[in-house]
Structure 1
Amino acid sequence: MLTLNRIGIASAAGAVGMGLVYLAAAGAPSRYLAVNAGTLIIGLAGLMAWRRWARPVPRLPGLAALMIGLALMATALFGQSLDEATRWVRLGPLTLQPGLILTPLLAVLFARDQSLLSTTGVIITAAALALQPDRATAGALALALAALAVTQPDRRTLAALITATIAFAIALARPDTLPAQPFVEQVLFTAFKTHWLIGIAVWIGAKWLLLPAITGRVLNPANRPTYAVFGAVWLGLIAAALLGNYPTPLVGYGASSILGYAMSLAALPSRPQRT
């Protein structure tokens, strides 16, 4: 039986797999392939462990959202900087982008729980993304909140959406001159320079990221707003990768988006509910 868990796992594995084909064909360093493959294994192992062992804890989504906001604000204030942008942290040999890891998770948590704590977490996150600045993630967050406001409007959702939209506008107004990094950014275009079949494979992999949102709306209609938010935040990140020099999720090199995708999958409702 095709379950939502299996669809999510297949989407992650399929997108990363297509990315590995691209990286190998394009001559990327072997370390890049190892990082993406290893991160996928870690992310999916964590996802399956969470699904198996996690138990509901009161107020957990709100507390988690607040901690995410504080972590991203700490990144903006104390993280690694490059050309006036401060979006990264060093973890051993890896440079990670916490906004890309945590913002999709935050969006899904907020879709499931619009408490005062989670709303505060969203507002802090939006401010942090404006400070970094991170146009791609700020725009994806605003798009996710817009999807939630359409499907499940309330005053806290609208307050979060207004804050995120302002933060996105501030991020757009601030300079962002970082050039594209090979195998990380502009992948949806450069893959065609390797081979047209590779280019098509990369586009298919990127589209697979949206499968949990599409199937979740059908198989779990009681939680359609949450699946709409999941789809919107990843659609926003894909669109950003098309429009600017921002990481191409899962099909390009980078551990951050792979971890972010697995964590946001883990936050989705685990059991279908029929209305």
Structure 2
Amino acid sequence: MTLERGRWTISIVASVAVCLGLAVQHQLGAPASGLMVQAAGACLGAILFFLLSHAHPPQRAAVVVIGLVSLIGVASPLAFGPESAGARRWLPLGPVSVQPSMVLLPLVIWLSARQSSWAISLLVLATGGVLALQFDAAALSGLALAWLASLARSARRGEAHAWGAAVGLFILTAWAWMRPDALPSVAWVEQVLPNAWGHGLWTGAMATLAVILVLAPLVLLARGGQAALGLAAFYAGLVGAALVGNYPLPVVGLGASLVVGWLMALGLARAPTRSSPPP
């Protein structure tokens, strides 16, 4: 399969997953305004998918700068976001709310797979600390799994700072899970899979197929590189957390930030692994 053909195949799979998600959300009672925002997020994510699939690995200095900017973006709700049941994860952007972590974490994971240094380990651990302050056990679970998966295929697996960051992430994740999420559950955002099956056979089947389509492209792309493996592990962690806890189910549940981030992850997973274009 050529690179261009593979890109269009993933585009079709992603389109089906998004459409199935919209159908499930509609069946579960999501408002029309929310569905429109979700569709707009998918359009934005599609543009980013095509742009990022051509992104070449940045130089070491650029990795640090982009990583720090991403960390500031993830942390911004702590300073500027409204509090909801003790959590600060969202930023108001006009009539909608954006969850920066769900948009920026795929970029952090992709960058961390490109370089091996104590600065990168510190960046990932600091990002985990911010997520802990936001009481986001789902995002922390995904980040911890992504870091561990990257270590398994990385030359840094013998470096103490990398394993120190892994231990720190799992401690933070365990601490976050010890604090139950106090946010009220919304049928078309959290616990979507059991809610869909409770609604009916076809709704449950659509939701299940959508979950498979969310994970399948990343799992297949994970064979091609360390960054793709980390991104696959991240979304597996998000899906797992959504199944056992009160957290959004990516793409299948309503949440435009998760759709944008997932489509970005698909593009980054297909990005060239070398600093020069492939022949």
The two structures share one fold, judged by TM-score above 0.5: yes
CA 1:176–1:6 in structure 2 vs 1: closer, same or farther (change >3 Å)?
same
CA contact (8 A) 2:131 2:137 kept: yes
- How far, CA to CA, are the matches of 1:234 and 1:248 in structure 2? 10
State whether residues 70 and 121 of structure 1, in contact with CA within 8 Å, keep that contact through their aligned partners in structure 2: no
- 1:170 is matched with 175
* Aligned mates of 2:260, 2:27 — CA distance in 1: 24
Specify the alignment match of 1:253 in structure 2: 254
Q: Greater RCO between the two (CA within 8 Å, min separation 6)?
A: 2
Give per-residue Cα distances to partners, 1:193-238, cap 9 Å, x unaligned: 33212111111111112223332244x3xx2x22221111000000
Q: Kindly state the Cα deviation for residue 12 of structure 1 after the two structures are TM-superposed.
A: 2.6
Please provide the CA RMSD for this pair: 2.3
Q: Displacement of 1:14 after TM fit? A: 2.1
Residues 243 and 55 of structure 1: CA distance in aligned 2, closer, same or farther (over 3 Å): closer
Q: Which amino acid aligns with 1:168?
A: T
CA contact under 8 A between 2:73 and 2:101: conserved in structure 1? no
Counterparts of 1:50 and 1:148 in 2: how far apart (Å)? 20
Offset, 1:175: 4.5
Unmatched tracts of structure 1, length 5 or more: none
Q: Distance in 1 between matches of 2:23 and 2:128?
A: 35
Q: Partners in 2 of 1:56 and 1:2 — Cα distance?
A: 21
* Distance across 2 between alignment mates of 1:113 and 1:267: 15
Residues 63 and 117 of structure 1 are in contact (CA less than 8 Å); yes or no, is this contact kept in structure 2?
A: no
> 1:73, 1:124 within 8 Å by CA — same for their partners in 2?
no
Please, which of 88, 93, 97 is the counterpart of residue 91 of structure 1? Answer: 93
Q: Deviations over 1:70-123 (max 9, x none)?
A: 222232343221111111111111112112222232122212223344323212
Q: Does 1:82 align with 2:87?
A: no
Q: Deviations over 1:130-151 (max 9, x none)?
A: 1111111011111111212222
SS of 1:209's partner is helix
Q: Residues of 1 paired with 2:251 and 2:120: CA distance?
A: 27
Q: Distance in 1 between matches of 2:56 and 2:151?
A: 28
Q: How does 1:1-275 map to 2 (within 5 A)?
A: 1=1, 3=3, 4-51=6-53, 54=55, 56-59=57-60, 60-152=62-154, 153-155=157-159, 156-218=161-223, 220=224, 223=225, 225-271=226-272
**2:43 partner amino acid:** I
Structure 2 Cα separation of the partners of residues 7 and 144 of structure 1 = 24
- Give 1:265 shift: 2.3
Length, aligned pairs only: 269
More displaced, 158-167 or 171-180? 171-180
Looking at structure 1, the residues matched to 17 and 265 of structure 2 have their Cα atoms a distance apart, in angstroms, of 15
Cα displacement (A) at 1:18: 0.8
8 A Cα contact 1:76 1:86, kept in partner: yes
CA contact (8 A) 1:12 1:261 kept: no
SS in 2 for 1:210: helix
